[in-house]
Amino acid sequence: MRRMKRWAALALSAALCAGILSGCGEEEAPSILPVSVGNGVTTFDPAYVSTDTDNTVALSLYEPLMRMTCDGDGSTTVTEGMAKSVDVTENFDGTVVYTFRLRSARWSDGTEVKAQDFVYAWQRLANPLTLSPNAALLSVVQGYDAVRNGGAPEELAVTAKNDTTLEVVLIGKYDWFLTGVCSSPATVPLRQDVVQSLKEKAQAASETAGEDAAPLKWWYDPTILVTNGAYQASAYQSGKTLELTRSEHYYGRVRNDGVRVFFADSPETAWALYGGETVDLAYALPQEQVDAQLSHGQSLTPVLTVHTVLFNGAQYPLDDPSVRKALTLAVDRQAVAALAGGSASAATGLVPYGIPGSAEEDFRTEGGDLLDSSAEDYANNCEKAKQLLLGSGYDSGASSYVKNNALEYLYVDEGSAAAIASALTEQWRSVLGLRIQPRAVTRTELSAALRTGEYALADVDMSASVNDAETFLAPFSSKSALNTARYSSGAYDTLLKIIDSASDPAARIACLHDAEVLLLEDAAVCPLYTMGTLWKLREGWSGLCRDPRGWFSFAGVAAVS
């Protein structure tokens, strides 16, 4: 095997004045930071976090192997968290071994954080019985497929060599493992003894509450959680407020005494809290405030999510690429983006802006526009769509299935989804003469339909689990359990294999661009629009850090004068 050079995450400039210290040279006045960063927490269990609020709170309470910091201009980087250092070894069989040396750190009850705490948490995350929506983060870890197919959780190649050494074996070379997986809120450590004890307390509390009360989760009371992050939960009112107090046992520097979180059911509510000086950070902003900020020269920060139409490539007639392409060309992205709101932009590819490419270039900027969306382009696209549908054979005979038996377009009726569904189905009718029926479903029903393949077209948000283009492309591999589009292409699978084994970063990025082009040429998915976002931090505070994936870090925030 060949030893790799030790991974070094901190550049000199970041070490001198990182985002967590972005107030360098300013006088600090530690205090409580009041914030509104979304709806109430849906879970305090790291395995189940899904919303920006969940992730923000989870990373305030817990710390993973790697953590996010910001430099003075607000750009983010990933540096060592619980990992004091990491060695990387590439083996001749293609596997890659990561050896993490843990720093001396303690849980909020004073107990030492050990490598076994990561082993327990990661095995629990991968275990299909956990039903975690974040399990696929560990899909590159050796043994993951075996665990998902009924094997013992211990088959996951995550091992505590001793109390301070954690070893992880990957099935190949994945450049984003450290920066994406190891920095995720879902991969933080957990104490098995604590989880078991809290489960027993929750069961006892449920029994005391009576037969009609809903069973309590082990994390029902965050103030009794044992955590290893910058903060501890000191008070909680479900759906209203959460008090985070600086942890006495946290190894790192925290530049405030704590954070008071006010939950808001809408951007308008968050802004009202800001206007009333209840909070000093408001996220997200109402559209009128977004427009006002943009008029003053503020730029939108890309949201690493692309809103798409997903085709079931295994279902007739969508198993024909020509039909999928015709449907894609008939979509007026500018009109759809307008329905989504002023911070939405017509998608120009599957990978949104904000994902790094080669060198310092943005992946989307580097790859250019792969989808046409201007008015002139749309007129031309509609003509192409008609010809494709005619050429596919659906102009007569078999076409009666499409014209007389409406296919269904599934969507979750939230925000502008219903208006967009209506617009799309009308575009497909007017341009192609196809009857496609929109049907509102719950999130649970949509997930079940995608999983079982019992759908034709669906409204799906594709989001970045790691800040890398591969996170948008890998789910379309024919071998991926996430391939709900049932897309199959030998050429595409070959490209993904090359990407996984590429030793040259530039060559890897080039192959990712090729894979995106091929996927869109086959019309496996129809990207609609992407979003931008803004937040407002009151003057007098500095050091706020936001991960490109959507969550905030408060440890570096200080009151300054």
Predicted pLDDT at 1? 40
Q: Does domain 2-191+534-559 have CATH number 3.40.50.150?
A: no
Radius of gyration of the chain (CA): 24
pLDDT tens sequence across 278-291: 999 999 999 899 98
Q: What is the mean pLDDT of residues 204-224?
A: 89
pLDDT tens sequence across 46-101: 999 999 999 999 999 999 999 988 875 667 788 999 999 999 999 999 999 999 99
Higher pLDDT, 477 or 297: 477
Q: What is the dihedral of CA 171, 176, 179, 185, to 10 degrees?
A: -70
Task: Identify the band that residue 221 occupies on the pLDDT scale cut at 50, 70 and 90.
Answer: very high
Cβ 499 vs Cβ 307: under 8 Å? no
Higher pLDDT, 374 or 314: 314
Q: Which of 17-21, 235-239, 371-375, 541-545 has the lowest mean pLDDT?
A: 17-21
> Are 2-191+534-559 and 301-533 in the same CATH fold?
no
Predicted pLDDT at 473? 97
Cβ 331 vs Cβ 457: under 8 Å? no
Q: Which of 8, 400, 28, 2 is nearest to 173 (CA)?
A: 2
CB atoms within 10 A of CB 299: 9
Joined tokens for residue 18: 């990182």
Q: Packing angle between helix 375-391 and helix 321-329, nearest 10 degrees?
A: 150
Average pLDDT, the chain: 90
Predicted pLDDT at 405? 57
Q: What is the mean pLDDT of residues 132-158?
A: 96
CB atoms within 10 A of CB 466: 23
Query: What's the per-residue H, E or C state across 113-176?
Result: CCHHHHHHHHHHHHCHHHCCCCHHHHCCECCHHHHHCCCCHHHCCEEEEECCEEEEEECCCCCH
Predicted pLDDT at 101? 98
pLDDT tens sequence across 116-131: 999 999 999 999 999 9
Predicted pLDDT at 72? 59
pLDDT > 90: percent of the chain: 80
Q: Which of 269, 292, 287, 301 is nearest to 341 (CA)?
A: 287
Site of tokens 């549908």: 389
Domain residue limits, the chain: 2-191+534-559, 301-533
pLDDT tens sequence across 458-498: 999 999 989 999 999 999 999 888 899 999 999 999 999 99
Joined tokens for residue 202: 């929750």
pLDDT > 70: percent of the chain: 92
Work out the end-to-end distance of the chain between its first and last CA atoms, rounded to an integer number of angstroms: 55
Cβ 539 vs Cβ 278: under 8 Å? no
Joined tokens for residue 440: 């509102």
Predicted pLDDT at 312? 97
Predicted pLDDT at 432? 93
Residue 356 to residues 81, 361, 428, 512: CA-CA distances in angstroms? 22, 6, 34, 12
Cβ 431 vs Cβ 330: under 8 Å? yes
In this structure, what DSSP letter does residue 71 have? Answer: B
CB atoms within 10 A of CB 553: 22
Largest interatomic CA distance in the chain: 77
For 100, the enclosing helix (H) or strand (E) is strand 96-102
Report how far residue 457's alpha carbon sits from residue 22's, in angstroms, rounded to the nearest whole number: 46
Task: Identify the band that residue 561 occupies on the pLDDT scale cut at 50, 70 and 90.
Answer: confident
Report how far residue 382's alpha carbon sits from residue 189's, in angstroms, rounded to the nearest whole number: 52
Q: Give the pairing type, strands 545-546 and 552-553.
A: antiparallel
Query: What's the per-residue H, E or C state across 469-484?
Result: CHHHHHHHCCCCCCCC
Predicted pLDDT at 374? 84
SS percent in the chain: helix, strand, coil, step 5: 35, 20, 40
Predicted pLDDT at 73? 61
> Per-residue pLDDT for 399 more than 60?
no
> Per-residue pLDDT for 445 more than 80?
yes
Q: What are phi and psi of 180, to 5 degrees?
A: -105, -60
Q: Does domain 301-533 have CATH number 2.40.50.100?
A: no
Predicted pLDDT at 509? 95
Higher pLDDT, 406 or 134: 134
Q: What is the mean pLDDT of residues 512-526?
A: 97
Residue 217 to residues 48, 130, 135: CA-CA distances in angstroms? 12, 13, 19
Task: Identify the band that residue 23 occupies on the pLDDT scale cut at 50, 70 and 90.
Answer: very low
Q: What is the mean pLDDT of residues 105-121?
A: 98
Predicted pLDDT at 16? 30
Report how far residue 519's alpha carbon sits from residue 472's, in angstroms, rounded to the nearest whole number: 11
Residue 257 to residues 243, 278, 291: CA-CA distances in angstroms? 11, 17, 34
Q: Which of 22-31, 240-249, 360-369 has the lowest mean pLDDT?
A: 22-31
**Extended strands (E) in 222-300:** 231-237, 241-246, 258-262, 281-282
> Per-residue pLDDT for 359 more than 90?
no
For 96, the enclosing helix (H) or strand (E) is strand 96-102
Report how far residue 178's alpha carbon sits from residue 277's, in angstroms, rounded to the nearest whole number: 39
Task: Identify the band that residue 301 occupies on the pLDDT scale cut at 50, 70 and 90.
Answer: very high
Entry pTM: 0.87
